[in-house]
Chain A
Amino acid sequence: MSTDAFSPLQGGAFLEKPPTGTFFKELFTADELFMAESVQQFMQKEVMPCAAAMEAGENGQMPGLLLKAGELGLTGAALPERYGGLNLPKTTQTLLTQCTAVCPAFAVACAVHSGVGALPLLLFGSDEQKMRFLPELAAGRKIAAFALTEADSGSDARAAHTTAVLLDEGGYRLEGSKAWITNGGFAHLFTVFAQLNGQFSAFLVESDAPGFARGREEQKLGLHGCSTRRILLEGALAPADSLLGEPGQGHLPAFCALNPGRLAIGAIALGMGRRALALAVEYAKQRKQFGRAIAQFGLVQRMLAQSAAQLWLAECALYRAAGEMDAALLSGAPMHLALADCAIECAAAKLICTETAQQAIDACLQIHGGYGYSEEYAPAQLYRDIRVFRIFEGTSEVVRLSLAEAWLKRLREGRLKEPQKGDQTADRLKQAAFAALQAGFEGFGRVQEKQQQAADLSDIAIAVYALEAAEMRSRQTIRNRTLAETAFQLALQQQTMHCNVLLQRLPGGQRVEMQNDLNAYELNSTLAQLVLENEGGVF
């Protein structure tokens, strides 16, 4: 897919040019914040009362909650007004999605429905297909699911075995089964990917189609409240107008919808990580050992500070990516090209948010000691629920490789060039990474045989992306300025150290200089104090 015709599209430009601006949370207007408050209240009043029952496995309540989310306007947030949606910017959507993270099972069900569930149709549906389904999806009256994965093809999704045959009497017959389908227990509309004459294609399959069946609920490690099932297509009949987009073009809806999907997954993970930090702070203040609150111990403080700094950094990357996706969507390029163009940014946001959240939740559990290991306290469920965020919508490994692959491809095609010189740490990291790319990947060739190097280079790219966003935000925020600056300095040190380890082992890599020589121990305790004062911190 070529984006050359749309020069305003700048995906990956941060790897070449210094940043000119970023979106960050303090830029939200009063009514956007008010929307977030509404979603928080909705979660408290409607969803949380059902959360325990859903966690116990009764997901009969989820369709009703999604209908209520439809009345709230949440399920239609991404859809255009003519389908009953709100057409909110990605930044606002990201904020609202983050607010749903208090109940991860609901958050995932809702994000899959309105993200990868509805977006393929929005991007590639015909007018009739869109008019028929999108208003129902926007209102939450019908629930959507995304059926890409199969038992034998996960990361290698295009190797799907499910087949579709064009029937003489019109329509298609689908044969095969799909695995791990979120909302599988109750969804009405499935975007199913299947081979049509050996060509990877997408179909809209309704749950009342003859030959369609649902499997049993998967017994999962976490997200118990969220329905995950196999979908069985045993000669399932789909009407003639069920083909989505062109035959053989199934990869387009699959991969274009994944980019905003990854932002949403990042937003939920970040929300969970932030909640873990707040829980950790609360517990650390009140738990006493050796006659003191454990919050006074340096090692507990270090865990709090590092969680806070990394979450802050991840948040900066997430909202930067959302803002850049909005810019791409406003560039005038067709929507699917705009979304596809943000692959590197969305990969970075997904990776940093999900991995940081995992660490913050781990630290939260650790701070709770034995009680963290008990299902009677909140960290245990968070710990189970967060784990899948590094697996679905692209495993961490696959997302890292796809980031590096996209970077190399853009260099190969001349759409990105050597990074411009600059004296910020992020600029130096870009140059060092570029040198290693040149040394390790001759002619900017493919990543497959050098996965370890490629993943290390992705990590540096992610650090660069996040640090630039954090630097711009920490310079501009007014609220909690000290917290922002301290978190930035700590994150900067940690990321530089991490990148230096990678640069040292990368062929052609060279370490970069530390930008600040602040004492890391003191930074940890200063940030921990600030975080403790701010109750885990509205930063």
Chain B
Amino acid sequence: MKIFTPIKRVPDPYAKVRVTEEGRLDSEDLKYTINPFDEIALEEALRLREAGEETDITAVAVGNETCVDQLRQALAMGADRAILIETEAEADAMMVSIWLAELCRQEKPDLVLMGKQSTDEENSQVGPRLAGLLQWGQATFASKIEADEGAHALRVTREVEDGRETLQVALPAVVTVDLRLNEPRYVALPAILRARSKPLQRIAASDLAEPVPGIELLALETPPPRAPGRMAASLDEFCSLLQAALNAR
């Protein structure tokens, strides 16, 4: 099976982010990582391989040269090769989906396995859009993925409001993964050294497609600090405080 695992470079979700005066992310002091959801997707691809399925795993990133750090990380985790779709654009979800779709048309993976969302913008857009553009089946928010024997398909369990839902998706398909799917491994140090010499291909985004941005980022702002909470002395006081707050709206 040929698997694509898109990898997004995001600010470390535990880092304190600051906004510059120009309303952009202050990236100077910021540490970046692989989007944790994408890391889980890559881990799942590795587990499919370890379960016996012959797999070829390609990590794909969209962005500028800085994304190479995260692609090398993916190679160290166990991806066989990496592709960087190079662009300096502040790409929105649609643009990313269009580039990924074009790459999928050329490279024909059986499965695109990716995070359900990225921790920086939390849009949950790229997976479904990509499936739509490719006219492939999709299963989102996966908490369990099994190869369906014989059939060229996967059984995917997803957590939904009223319990669990199990879908069968025919391949090729796009599957987006949730936090509970697995816990990514820590990478052995020799694998990090070996990743330096694994193949990493660069493709100019403009050679794939020239999408028009649909969303323009105007400015970022830090939300005002939240007013401190108040301790209510009793349930009665709590109820009347709640009522007063609701009335004030």
A interface residue numbers (CB < 8 A to B): 30-31, 34-35, 37-39, 41-42, 45, 71-74, 77, 86, 88, 96, 478-480, 538
Please determine whether A31 and B72 come into contact, CB atoms closer than 8 angstroms. Answer: yes
Beta-carbon nearest neighbor of B196 in chain A: A31
Are the CB atoms of A38 and B187 closer together than 8 Å? yes
Residue contacts A-B, CB under 8 angstroms, 25 given: A30-B69, A30-B72, A30-B73, A31-B72, A31-B192, A31-B196, A34-B73, A34-B187, A35-B189, A35-B192, A38-B186, A38-B188, A38-B189, A42-B186, A45-B186, A71-B188, A72-B186, A72-B188, A72-B189, A73-B188, A77-B189, A86-B190, A86-B193, A88-B189, A96-B189
Name the interface residues of B17-55: CB closer than 8 Å to any CB of A: 28-29, 31
B residues within 8 Å of A by Cβ? 28-29, 31, 68-69, 72-73, 76, 186-190, 192-193, 195-196
A479 engages B192 (CB within 8 Å)? no
**Contact (Cβ within 8 A) A480 B29:** yes
* CA of A38 to CA of B188, assembled, Å: 7
Kindly list chain A residues whose C-beta atoms are within 8 Å of the C-beta of B187.
34, 38
Contacts between the two chains (Cβ within 8 Å), count: 49
Residues in B with CB closer than 8 Å to A30 are 68-69, 72-73
A35 and B195 CA atoms in complex are apart in Å by 12
Contacting residues, chain B, for A31 (C-beta < 8 A): 69, 72-73, 76, 192-193, 195-196
Distance from B87 Cβ to chain A, minimum over Cβ atoms (Å): 20
Kindly identify which residue among A34, A71, A77, A479 contacts B76, using a CB–CB cutoff of 8 Å. Answer: A34
CB distance from A496 to the nearest CB of B (A): 29
Known: A31-B73, A42-B186. 9 other contacts (CB 8 A): A31-B192, A31-B195, A34-B73, A35-B189, A38-B192, A72-B186, A77-B189, A88-B189, A96-B189
Residue among A42, A73, A74, A96 having the largest count of chain B Cβ atoms under 10 Å: A73
Question: Hey, which chain A residues are within 8 Å of B195, CB to CB?
Answer: 31
Complex CA distance for A292 and B195, rounded to whole angstroms: 51
- Specify which chain B residues have a CB less than 8 angstroms from the CB of A86 in the assembled complex: 189-190, 193
Most buried by B among A37, A38, A72, A479: A38
Interchain nearest-CB distance for A113 vs B (Å): 16
Min C-beta distance of B78 to chain A, whole Å = 13
Instruction: Give the one of B28, B68, B192, B196 with max A CB within 10 A.
Output: B192
The 6 closest A-B pairs by CB, nearest first: A73-B189, A41-B186, A30-B69, A38-B186, A38-B187, A479-B29
* A41-B68 Cα distance, complex, nearest whole Å: 22
Complex Cα spacing A41 to B189, Å: 12
Which residues of chain B come closer than 8 Å to A39, judged between CB atoms? 189
Do residues B192 and A34 form an inter-chain contact, with CB atoms below 8 A?
yes
Min CB–CB distance A232 → chain B (angstroms):
37
Contacts of A96 in B (CB 8 A): 189
Give B76's nearest chain A residue, CB to CB: A34
A96 to B190, CA, bound (A): 14
Separation of A73 and B195 alpha carbons in the complex (Å): 15
Query: Which residues in B have their C-beta under 8 angstroms from that of A38?
Result: 186-189, 192
Instruction: Give bound CA distance, A45 to B185, whole Å.
Output: 10
- Do A478 and B28 have beta carbons less than 8 Å apart? yes
Q: Which A residue sits closest to B72, measured CB to CB?
A: A31
What residues of chain A lie closer than 8 Å to B72, measured between beta carbons? 30-31, 34
Q: CA A176 – CA B150 in complex, angstroms?
A: 69
A480 to B76, CA, bound (A): 29
The residue among A31, A39, A45 with the most chain B CB atoms within 10 A of its own CB is A31
For residue B187, give the distance in angstroms from its CB to the closest CB of chain A: 5
- Kindly state the separation between the CA atoms of A478 and B188 in the bound complex, as whole angstroms: 29
Contacts A30-B69, A31-B196, A480-B29: A73 and B76 contacting too (C-beta < 8 A)? no
Residue of A nearest to B31 (CB): A538
Q: Which residue of B lies closest to A535 (CB)?
A: B16
B26: min CB distance to chain A, Å: 11
Contact: B189 with A74, CB < 8 Å? Answer: yes
Chain A residues closer than 8 Å to B28, beta-carbon distance: 478-479
Q: Which residue of A lies closest to B186 (CB)?
A: A41
Chain B: minimal CB distance from A414 (Å)? 42
> A538 vs B31: C-alpha distance in the bound complex, in angstroms?
11
Complex alpha-carbon distance, A37 and B73, angstroms = 11
* Alpha-carbon separation in the docked complex, A538 to B192 (Å): 23
A73 to B31: give the CA distance in the assembly, Å.
Answer: 25
Docked CA distance A416–B188 (Å): 43
Write the nearest CB–CB distance from A331 to chain B, whole angstroms. Answer: 23
Please report the C-alpha to C-alpha distance between residue A42 and residue B68 in the assembled complex, in whole angstroms: 24
B residues less than 8 Å from A77 (CB atoms): 189
Write out the residue numbers on chain A whose beta carbons fall within 8 Å of the beta carbon of B188: 38, 71-73
Whole-angstrom distance between the alpha carbons of A76 and B73 in the complex?
21
A88: chain B residues at CB < 8 Å are 189
* A294 to B186 CA separation, bound complex (whole angstroms): 38
CA distance A114 to B186 in the complex (A): 21
CA distance in complex: A96, B72 (Å): 19
Residues of A contacting B190 in the complex (Cβ-Cβ under 8 angstroms): 73, 86
User: Closest residue to A478 on the B side, CB-wise?
Assistant: B28
The smallest C-beta distance from A131 to any residue of chain B, in angstroms, reads: 20
**Min C-beta distance of B63 to chain A, whole Å:** 14
Question: How many angstroms between the C-alpha atoms of A31 and B29 in the bound complex?
Answer: 18
A533: nearest chain-B partner, CB-CB: B16
Residues of B within 8 A of A42 (CB): 186
Q: Which residues of A contact B193 (CB under 8 A)?
A: 31, 86
B residues near A73, Cβ cutoff 8 Å: 188-190
Chain A nearest CB, measured from B152 CB (Å): 35
Complexed CA–CA distance, A39 and B31 (Å)? 17
Whole-angstrom distance between the alpha carbons of A30 and B188 in the complex? 15
CA distance A86 to B68 in the complex (A): 23
CB contacts (< 8 Å) of A538 on chain B: these are 31
- Residue with the highest number of chain A CB atoms closer than 10 Å, among B72, B188, B196: B188
